[in-house]
Structure 1
């Protein structure tokens, strides 16, 4: 088919092609998920995939993925172009990096960028990233005190030169991980999904007779920007402040502050007043701060407008250099998600003052990873210990018009991992995994429930547990007279409790007990629909005591077994 200038395309043509781009990147993401070695990617979808134009502007992102990966990846291709100008790129080139300040915020996420050529001309880029289970560094994830202790640091490098893989670079990666097969396998998985995305993109261009993406890209970006600005201009003007106190570190709690300004040109969130960087590894690079701030604004305001460079542009952030939300290299950042994932609640606390009718109560936010190493049966096997991780979740805060979701990864988008996979890769058994009654904050609309999880070892040997949690000392707060969600907890069946961010050894025969927190409730509990209270009681979401004492349900109205 003869190439047709994209300037001649009708509006309908461009909309059809836009939808095809969304299909291209969704297939790209699904290929990554299906071929990944990392269980967090394969089972929980901790990844991102997108297509970019020749200028490095994101045109489409996959639905499969997480905001922290996706919204920080939006800037990654620009960094690659800065390091390797477009005119130096050849067909078959592939670039790799895991720079926390140019990628997704920590070393465990590897980013791959692939220039895409059509009829010999560079027309765009396919980019992706995913979580790598082990990238070297200290075993105790709470012990790192700078980024260099956290694993292999890859600047932006050419991994494949005109189709020829740099085996020396692959050897460096293989030599710096405790899981060389899995880590190198994930690198190839990422390269493969980009290759599939590029193939589908060029097929689409051939089908529609496109010689370049320029006019289509301008249409996508301009249309999306205009649509977001239209929504923003319907909002009340002003600056709205909020703050959030986190459990923090062994040094004490951390306070985050934000001032959110709505203007005709967009929404800006300034984090001046937030806590300074900590010596522990919960610092957040600004790219990750932007990612979850932008996501929160998208959820509350942008709605179903697709995510791309245009729709992201009106959402901006600032934070003083050296604060915990704008950590500077070489700050330790491996656990940046424990703080970064809390930002949507902070943004919502600002927005609730402007838009109380659409903002949820506070949620669990930070994920409750089950992260385990060991055991070892002899000193000779110290480096052959298994390392497994699965995602568990707490409850979402209630909205002003419905209950919060239970056991959900909101706002991360990461799915809870199947315990059967976790067990199959270790000697551990998950003896219990169930919803926690009464963990959702009471209200006219109830907060989502957390979970109760019990884990033990089938061997009479100790194993190492790495805790990195929030909402233990400061549970999710309710809104508009709604009750707070239940606090989380981590400890042993024997009764010992641990700090929210601490590594500990589980003795032989002991079991870890993990209480995932619940989301805050919304509205006066006395106004909750009686049928909803009865249903909660019948399903075991609330206890008989809560039904009577909080919701004032008479015993004679309680459902009978």
Structure 2
């Protein structure tokens, strides 16, 4: 098993593309160029969101943008979906090496792929993730790439969130291929793609919106070149990459050398092919860091396998989340990082493994990075979070939605609050966030109203889950309760969640959050608590309800060290009750819910009131 390095080494001295050394630019010009490129990446994403058709993009904002130089180095990215970012570079370099070399590209070309198994498994994360690469030409000279990564509706096969056992069940795979050649759309290719989706109207609009965003990036980059000159832009890029690398190496160098280990199980309730072990050893040696997944189980006959591209993203996000926020996020911050992942394992599967729900692994990787490094950087890490949640349902009801949705008239809906919503873990100085998508997701929460407009569904509850947060000196975030009623026929319901048997754990004495559970027709004679956290698609009836209790985040530090006034505030807000204040936090309150200082001191001193 050899190291997989995420990026090539960057020279420390600025050079022109011809290799000639140049005098360093002044810092103001370098910063202006950096800010302009980062702003350009954000404009690309904004364009995609404003021109897309599907709810997942126009409200969920499930897309990300990056800009690369001609050698495939990351030079700017938007603050979008963490699991998308840092994955576009490996795919780009594999595409150039194995599919479409730079010499075969022409001005006006736009390349599309959604294949997870580009370059082994460093392509798209699953078949619903479409990547557009727009080569940027200055005249006839290739000078960079603008790219957009987006989750498109209707691309995940007949049962998108179902329990697939191979990639062939997960929709059409498109290897890197030119959708536009010298500015001309390949109409036949486009028809082929749209013929393999059950939502051709939405997907057509989303792909063209993606192309529009990529063009914004290309045109904006050329505008910068026109303003400053290519030599200045090249020097500014080299300077920023070198600076990010120096800062990242300096941070890693402050961590004590050693091996730091953490592991967990997925599908821990034994559902489907579980439990499955995910093991991580973080090796710090000087100013370099290695993430080694030796000991992780082999890939499984299910969709939770994680392509190497997503493994890279999760590892880098875990590290970058610990770095000072003013370090630029570009190729330099990845240069000191190495990733070792056994081929054929859960984190680097071989073709034709199913990968659609790879987020089950990426969420856990981030938590493992924090757990492993907790002894070394205790004030930077975060306790366990809610993990992944997939809840997708669909039904047919032409009375409420007469135009239907996909080609069968079926309309779908999701969690009602974005994917993976729950409680986030606490950190040393802050409570965890309530009802938020997990770290690696960052998808916006779609509104209940828009979900009801899009599909035949009525949302009954969308609220915080009292008592779900892990107690601690800083407490975890609260999970949520989501409940909906199907108002259509031929209802199909797919679900996967995490942190059921093994709830989100705390750090340094912090308690765990509550685990997840699904309930069908809660409070009725036909109530059914779903036995497994993951499973095959279920058939429901018109009027059936589904209620999901999302996990709360883990706490940080001893709960009895929490400021009693913060406990009183949590009690007043309904996050905890008086019994939890007393038993979990050692805080006595009066009938009005105010802290009884004398009784609290006695309880915390002696352990008795």
The alpha-carbon deviation at position 543 of structure 1 amounts to: 1.7
- 2:529 — aligned with what? 497
Name the CA distance, whole Å, in 1 between partners of 2:499 and 2:122.
29
Name the CA distance, whole Å, in 1 between partners of 2:41 and 2:173.
27
TM-score normalized by the length of structure 1: 0.94
- 1:81 — aligned with what? 96
Is 1:96 aligned with 2:112? Answer: yes
Secondary structure of 1:67's partner? coil
- 2:506 — aligned with what? 478
Secondary structure of 1:396's partner? coil
Name the CA distance, whole Å, in 1 between partners of 2:92 and 2:273.
37
Identify the range of structure 1 (548-557 vs 510-519) with the bigger mean alpha-carbon deviation.
Answer: 548-557
- 1:66 — aligned with what? 81
> Which of the numbers 389, 401, 421 marks the counterpart of 2:429?
401
> Which of the numbers 397, 402, 413 marks the counterpart of 1:388?
413
Is 1:532 aligned with 2:566? Answer: yes
Q: Cα distance 1:523–1:452, how it changes in 2: closer, same or farther (>3 A)?
A: same
- 1:436 — aligned with what? 465
- Does the CA-based 8 Å contact 2:280-2:292 persist in structure 1? yes
Q: Which runs of 5+ in 1 are unaligned?
A: none
Q: Cα distance 1:375–1:321, how it changes in 2: closer, same or farther (>3 A)?
A: same
Secondary structure of 2:585's partner? coil
Name the CA distance, whole Å, in 1 between partners of 2:437 and 2:425.
12
The alpha-carbon deviation at position 174 of structure 1 amounts to: 0.7
Per-residue CA deviation, residues 326-375 of structure 1 (Å, 9 max, x unaligned), is: 11111000111112221111111110121222211111132x24311113
Is 1:219 aligned with 2:239? Answer: yes
- Does the CA-based 8 Å contact 2:396-2:409 persist in structure 1? no
Listed as ranges, the matches of 1:325-336 within 5 Å are 325-336=347-358
Secondary structure of 1:467's partner? strand
The alpha-carbon deviation at position 212 of structure 1 amounts to: 7.2
- 2:285 — aligned with what? 263
- Does the CA-based 8 Å contact 1:142-1:280 persist in structure 2? no
Per-residue CA deviation, residues 311-332 of structure 1 (Å, 9 max, x unaligned), is: 1121221111111111111100
- 1:317 — aligned with what? 339
Secondary structure of 1:386's partner? strand
The alpha-carbon deviation at position 41 of structure 1 amounts to: 2.2
Is 1:469 aligned with 2:497? Answer: yes
Name the CA distance, whole Å, in 1 between partners of 2:229 and 2:431.
49
Name the CA distance, whole Å, in 2 between partners of 1:160 and 1:476.
46
The count of residues paired between Structure 1 and Structure 2 equals 553
The alpha-carbon deviation at position 207 of structure 1 amounts to: 1.6
Is 1:279 aligned with 2:312? Answer: no
Per-residue CA deviation, residues 93-125 of structure 1 (Å, 9 max, x unaligned), is: 110101112333211100000011224422111
- 1:196 — aligned with what? 216
TM-score normalized by the length of structure 2: 0.87
Q: Cα distance 1:402–1:10, how it changes in 2: closer, same or farther (>3 A)?
A: closer
Name the CA distance, whole Å, in 2 between partners of 1:331 and 1:28.
32
- Does the CA-based 8 Å contact 1:173-1:184 persist in structure 2? no
- 1:544 — aligned with what? 578
- Does the CA-based 8 Å contact 1:534-1:558 persist in structure 2? no
The alpha-carbon deviation at position 183 of structure 1 amounts to: 1.0
The alpha-carbon deviation at position 138 of structure 1 amounts to: 3.0
The alpha-carbon deviation at position 200 of structure 1 amounts to: 1.1
Identify the range of structure 1 (354-363 vs 368-377) with the bigger mean alpha-carbon deviation.
Answer: 368-377
> Which of the numbers 277, 290, 293 marks the counterpart of 2:315?
293
Q: Cα distance 1:161–1:507, how it changes in 2: closer, same or farther (>3 A)?
A: same
Name the CA distance, whole Å, in 2 between partners of 1:71 and 1:543.
43
The alpha-carbon deviation at position 377 of structure 1 amounts to: 7.3
Name the CA distance, whole Å, in 1 between partners of 2:208 and 2:398.
33
Name the CA distance, whole Å, in 2 between partners of 1:6 and 1:118.
22
The alpha-carbon deviation at position 238 of structure 1 amounts to: 0.7
The alpha-carbon deviation at position 32 of structure 1 amounts to: 1.1
Secondary structure of 1:465's partner? strand
Identify the range of structure 1 (75-84 vs 107-116) with the bigger mean alpha-carbon deviation.
Answer: 75-84
- Does the CA-based 8 Å contact 2:393-2:412 persist in structure 1? yes
Is 1:418 aligned with 2:452? Answer: no
The alpha-carbon deviation at position 33 of structure 1 amounts to: 1.6
Name the CA distance, whole Å, in 1 between partners of 2:586 and 2:252.
41
> Which of the numbers 421, 434, 457 marks the counterpart of 2:486?
457
The alpha-carbon deviation at position 38 of structure 1 amounts to: 2.6
Identify the range of structure 1 (145-154 vs 545-554) with the bigger mean alpha-carbon deviation.
Answer: 545-554
Name the CA distance, whole Å, in 2 between partners of 1:292 and 1:117.
32
Secondary structure of 1:442's partner? coil
- 1:507 — aligned with what? 541
- Does the CA-based 8 Å contact 2:83-2:314 persist in structure 1? yes
Coordinate RMSD, CA, aligned: 2.1
The alpha-carbon deviation at position 301 of structure 1 amounts to: 3.0
Listed as ranges, the matches of 1:72-151 within 5 Å are 72-82=87-97, 83-100=99-116, 101-139=121-159, 141-151=161-171
Secondary structure of 1:448's partner? coil
